[in-house]
Chain A
Amino acid sequence: MGRQDAWGWSMFGVVGVLSAFIIVLPIIVFWLSVREGRPIDPEAVYSFVHYVEVFSDEFSFEVLANTLGFSVVTLAVALIFGIPTAWLAERTDLPGKPVLYTLMTIGLLMPGFAAAMGWLFLMHPRIGMLNIWVMDWLGLAEAPFDIATIVGMGWVQGLNLAPVAFIMTAAVFRAMDPALEESAEMSGAKFSTIVRKVTLPLAWPGILAAGIYIFTIGFAAFDVPAIIGWSNRIFTFSTYMVLQLNPDDDLPQYGVAAALSTLVIILAALLSWWYSRLQKQTHRYQVVTGKGYRPRIMPLRGYVWAAWGFLAFYFTLSKLMPLLLLVWGSLLPFFQVPSMEAIESMTLDHFRELPWELTLEGIKNTGILMVLTPTVTLIISIAFSWVVLRSKVPGRSFFDFVAFLPHAIPNIVFGVGILLFTLYIVRNAIPLYGTLWILLIVFVVARVSYGTRMTNSSLIQIHKELEESATMSGASTGGVVRHVIVPLLTPTLIYAWLWIALLTFRELTLAVILTTRDNVTLPVVVWSLWNASGFGQAAAITLILIALMLPLVILYWWVTRATGLYQTR
């Protein structure tokens, strides 16, 4: 369409404004990282002092080593549980597959910080239930397990990310041409050879994509290292960044945080570049053709029990056990191993003594954000998709690249960016700091990559002639959007809305950076109670949070079944 009317222009406007934000925030971060003194001060000069500070501190290198170790363990654990589960779900005659999918969905109930609390109750060197049992039983003087280590934290994070590995590799197993494996079988290869020589190599691009994605999430993860590592002085990148912004005994180190963020942007850029190169190389085996294959189904026969045993093991470790320990911890005046004595001392005091005023404020704010974030994100995503896929503006694919940036760069960088933006650039002109709006903006930025991926892929499936025929019927651009595009996108929009709402509900990282007393969210209340060593209260409020999420998760589960969509992130 050559000429745009008001609707067309306003969609360009929306896309332009958000794109500017996405681009400007990292630039601000970089700019402030090379300013010495108060950045806005005319006397401030350009220098690399913050980088010198980062690199001259041995602790920085310890954090880097921690982060890498943590990410590697996370990746390994996630793949070890995720890939076999995907294979079982897609390529075997495992009975009860709907149950498997339901459990995977309900697993979303468990935010990272909740699982981390559960594991701490189990394997803390001093109070950990398992440690106390094993020490009693074997008469050990020292605790055999310690979850507050890099490996321990990676284990918890990996269990939490296994569903991501599951989803991403399941798609690959589903779309694989069965003839490729059948011809290996006809060539006389045995099962294990086929898996090693054909199935896994063909699935490799998908596994690689999942691996890099999980590694990136692990690198920027906050929940688990914060709950388990912080009090034990084991920091990874995200927690270290938050420490710089809220040091225990000093002024906020914004310059250092900016320098750290810049380094992470560079790292993320290198990783993305490496990934896109790898992808080009692995493109030569196009396994996913989009054709509807009926994949080869392996009969499990006697191994059904082993398969479900494996799955039950995973669900117990990652969901059930942490949840039970949270319930247990929330009902006891102080944490102890189960005994008659403990059961007799059970009380609802932790729930009663919660700072209810703060909690209700958190619930209110989280509720508002939960409604606004997905709504705004999806409106903007539709505008992005329309500009990229339907308008004929030159350079429109650039906007697609911009919308993808928040996926490639850890979200915490955008959090730091908007913090510095509100503190130094707009300051009092637009009083954003300490409001819900600042959280809304950064949440939208963080989710717009996902939103546009969803709207892009379903807009592509809408035949262009459906819109052109509306235009020929005399409809304006706005009419086409309102009466044709949006109604046809509705199933995708409902699904994506619920998923973004769920992520918003449990978002801790960005909220921790930007929260003040006035815009506190529910996860931040959890975090501050935990930090104040109110373990029982933190467990209690986490359970409330999970209970509040429950209807949303059930709705999400119902929608995924109704629409046949299933996907994480």
Chain B
Amino acid sequence: MIEVRNLSLTYHSDRESHLAVDDVSFRVEAGEFYTLLGPSGCGKTTTLRCVAGLERPDAGTILIDDEPVSSVEEGIWVPPNQRAIGMVFQSYAIWPHMSVFENVAFPLRHGVATNVSGDIGMKVRDALAMVQLDGLEDRPAPHLSGGQQQRLALARALVMEPKVLLLDEPLSNLDAKLREEMRVELRRLVKSFGVTTIFVTHEQIEALTLSDEIAVMSDGKLVQEGPPLEIYSRPSDPFVANFIGQSNMLSGVVRQSGIETPVGTIVCEIPEDCGEGAAVMIAVRPENILLGDGGDGNLLRGDVASRIFLGSSVECVVTVGEVGLRVLVHPDAAPQEGANVALRLPTRHCLVMRA
């Protein structure tokens, strides 16, 4: 279990200060796979490094299994080498001057706080077998492929049986094909170990496929937290709606009859805190907009301004009044450029959030 309370950290450079982490709080249950997702510079890696102890926060408390490891308010600081946290770095940080075996044995041999009972060799071999690197013990570490290095880094992080595992963009250095394979593999390994995991990534697809829980960060703040499906289908913030998948954004004002927008009045579910006259944004994902006028939903008409073939679908931009809406359609059903088409925005796919 990891709990982060009101964490803040400011970076000071020569000229300016930058609030990298701004009052972030979250809780990761034991055995949970928790993902910090956001664009580069959003503070996700800094947050992770605070949990690791590689950065010192300016404010806030971090607890692991209800024990504070860092608390500015209480003056508590446990150095990173005594936190017994396993960590996989973005570059893997495989020591090039050691063999595969020596890399994995390092935490057992040189850790200041690790109490190793039993046979180091056995534990190392077990850890290597778990990531399917058994038999490569004596190979010099630089002679491994990218995927093998990544699994080696994982074995090294897990060999001391940590309570917590931190993963800093571990898939970003792999090529696309391998990345897909390792996504599945990574979750399986981590879950079979039952270790509480925080995963940092800027790839939404990784976050959606791996996580039990996702926290989306932007500008040092945590903007939305929830299970993958909820984050994707019910974004509560315009940033989340656009960062995870794509969304057409319509600005509007709440009225009695629905929401008044530049494309007309849209009828949809309005959150309770948005009273009449409130300025809101409506997010509609391109794949949720339907072509044709038969059926339910908010009916609009527009002209096809452009069409781009994407392989499994065609992305059309349809101009309704002044607004261009992106619509994903099956290649067989794609209209011609310049065609006048009817669009339907299903009520349940029009998500309203405060502007």
Can you list, as one digit per residue, whether each of B91-128 has a CB less than 8 Å from chain A (1) or not (0)?
Answer: 11101110000000011001111100000000000000
B132 touches A (CB below 8 Å)? no
Which of B85, B97, B157 is within 8 Å of A488, CB to CB?
B97
Find chain B residues with CB under 8 A from A3 CB.
77, 79
- In-complex Cβ contact of B91 among A463, A473, A476, A483 (8 A): A463
Partner of A484, one of B79, B95, B107, B111: B95
Contact-size category for A: 20 to 34
Chain B residues lying within 8 Å of A475, measured Cβ to Cβ, are 81, 106, 110-112
> A2 to B112, Cβ gap below 8 A?
no
Other-chain residue from B77, B89, B107 in contact with A474 (beta carbon distance below 8 A):
B107
Q: CB-CB < 8 A to A488: which residues of B?
A: 95-97
Question: Which of chain A's residues have a CB closer than 8 A to the CB of B156?
Answer: 469, 473
CB of A143, distance to nearest CB on chain B (Å) = 61
CB distance from B197 to the nearest CB of A (A): 14
Question: In the complex the two chains form, what is the Cα distance from A469 to B112 in whole Å?
Answer: 14
- A544 CB–B CB distance under 8 Å: no
Contact (Cβ within 8 A) B91 A1: no
Q: Which of A85-131 contact B (CB under 8 A)?
A: none
A466-B91 Cα distance, complex, nearest whole Å: 9
Within 8 A of B (CB), among A1-41: 1-3, 5
Contact present for A472 and B106 (CB under 8 Å): no
Chain A CB within 8 A of B5 CB: no
Other-chain contact of B107, A463, A473, A476 (Cβ < 8 Å): A473
Cα A488 to Cα B54 in complex, Å, equals 21
Q: Which residues of A contact B327 (CB under 8 A)?
A: none
| Contact B106 A465, beta carbon cutoff 8 Å | no
**A476 CA / B113 CA spacing, docked (Å):** 9
User: Cβ of B86 < 8 Å from any Cβ of A?
Assistant: yes
- Within the assembled complex, what's the spacing in Å between the Cα atoms of A427 and B114? 51
* Chain A nearest CB, measured from B95 CB (Å): 6
B160 touches A474 (CB 8 A): yes
Cα of A474 to Cα of B153 in the assembled complex, Å: 15
- Within 8 Å CB of A466, what residues of B? 93, 95
Residues of A within 8 A of B90 (CB): 465
* A472 CB contact (under 8 Å) in B81, B92, B96: B81
Find out whether the CB atom of B86 lies under 8 angstroms from the CB atom of A472. Answer: yes
Taking a contact as CB atoms under 8 Å apart, the answer to whether B95 and A476 are in contact is no
Which residues of A lie under 8 Å from residue B80 when comparing CB positions? 1, 468, 471-472
B82 at the interface (CB under 8 A from A): yes
Which partner residue on chain A sits nearest B55 by CB separation?
Answer: A2
Bound complex: CA A235 to CA B16 (Å)? 54
- The total of chain B residues at the interface (CB under 8 A) is 32
B89 contacts A473, C-beta separation under 8 Å: no
Cα–Cα distance between A475 and B106 once the two chains are bound (Å): 9
Shortest Cβ gap from B190 to chain A (Å): 16
- Whether a CB of chain B sits under 8 angstroms from the CB of A144 is no
Name the CB-closest residue of A to B82: A474
Nearest Cβ on chain A to B305's Cβ, whole angstroms: 41
Quick one: which of A467-491 are within 8 Å of B by CB? 468-476, 479, 483-484, 487-488, 490
Q: Contact between A474 and B97 (Cβ–Cβ < 8 Å)?
A: no
Task: Assess the B79–A479 pair: CB atoms within 8 A.
Answer: no
* Contacting residue for B84 out of A474, A479, A490, CB 8 A: A474
Chain B residues contacting A1 (CB-CB under 8 Å) are 54, 79-80
| CB–CB A469/B81 < 8 A | no
B87 at the A interface (CB under 8 A): yes
- Report A-chain residues with C-beta under 8 Å of the C-beta of B86: 472
B52-89 with Cβ < 8 A to chain A: 52, 54, 56, 77, 79-82, 84-87, 89
Check A473–B106 contact: CB distance below 8 A.
yes
Q: How far is the CA of A476 from the CA of B156 in the complex (A)?
A: 17
Q: Which residue of B lies closest to A468 (CB)?
A: B54
B113 lies within 8 A of A472 (CB):
no
A2-B56 contact given A475-B110, A475-B111, A483-B106, CB 8 Å threshold: yes
How long is the Cα–Cα vector from A466 to B96 in the complex, in angstroms? 9
Contact B110 A470 (CB under 8 A): yes
Q: Check A472/B85 contact, CB under 8 A, given A465-B91, A466-B93.
A: yes
B79 touches A473 (CB 8 A): no
User: A1, A469, A472, A475: which has the most chain B beta carbons within 10 Å?
Assistant: A472
Interface centre among B93, B96, B111, B157 (most CB of A within 10 A): B93
Closest to B113 in A: A474
State whether A474 touches B56 (Cβ < 8 A). no
Q: How far is the CA of A473 from the CA of B159 in the complex (A)?
A: 9
Measured CA separation A466–B156 after assembly (Å): 13
| A472 surroundings in chain B (CB, below 8 A) | 52, 54, 80-81, 85-87, 157, 166
Contacts of A2 in B (CB 8 A): 56, 77, 79
A476 touches B77 (CB 8 A): no
Q: How far is the CA of A488 from the CA of B93 in the complex (A)?
A: 13
Given A1-B80, A468-B54, are A474 and B96 neighbors across the interface (CB < 8 Å)?
A: no
Q: CA A483 – CA B97 in complex, angstroms?
A: 9
B112 proximity list for chain A (CB < 8 A):
474-476, 479
Which listed residue (A465, A476, A483) contacts B81, Cβ 8 A? A476
> Which residues of chain B have C-beta atoms less than 8 A from A463's C-beta?
91, 93
| A484–B107 CA distance with the chains assembled, in angstroms | 13
B110 touches A469 (CB 8 A): no
Tell me which residues across on chain B come within 8 A of A5, comparing CB atoms: 79
A487 to B106, CA, bound (A): 14
Give min CB distance, A302 to chain B, whole Å: 46
A8 to chain B, nearest CB (A): 11
- Chain B residue numbers with a CB within 8 Å of A484 are 95
* A5 CA / B81 CA spacing, docked (Å): 11
Q: How near does chain B come to A362, taking the closest CB pair, in angstroms?
A: 39
Q: Which residue of B lies closest to A466 (CB)?
A: B93
Which residue of chain A is the closest to B157 with respect to CB atoms? A472
Query: Min CB distance, B150 to chain A, in Å?
Result: 13
State A475–B156 Cα separation when bound (angstroms).
13
A474 to B85, CA, bound (A): 8
In-complex Cβ contact of A487 among B52, B97, B153 (8 A): B97
Subset of 9 A-B contacts with CB under 8 Å: A3-B77, A465-B89, A468-B87, A469-B89, A472-B87, A474-B160, A487-B97, A488-B97, A490-B97
Assuming A469-B87, A469-B156, A472-B54, what are 19 further A-B pairs, CB within 8 angstroms? A1-B79, A1-B80, A3-B79, A468-B89, A469-B89, A470-B95, A470-B106, A470-B110, A472-B81, A473-B160, A474-B82, A475-B81, A475-B106, A475-B110, A475-B111, A475-B112, A483-B106, A483-B110, A488-B97
Top-5 shortest CB links A-B: A474-B111, A473-B107, A469-B93, A465-B93, A465-B89
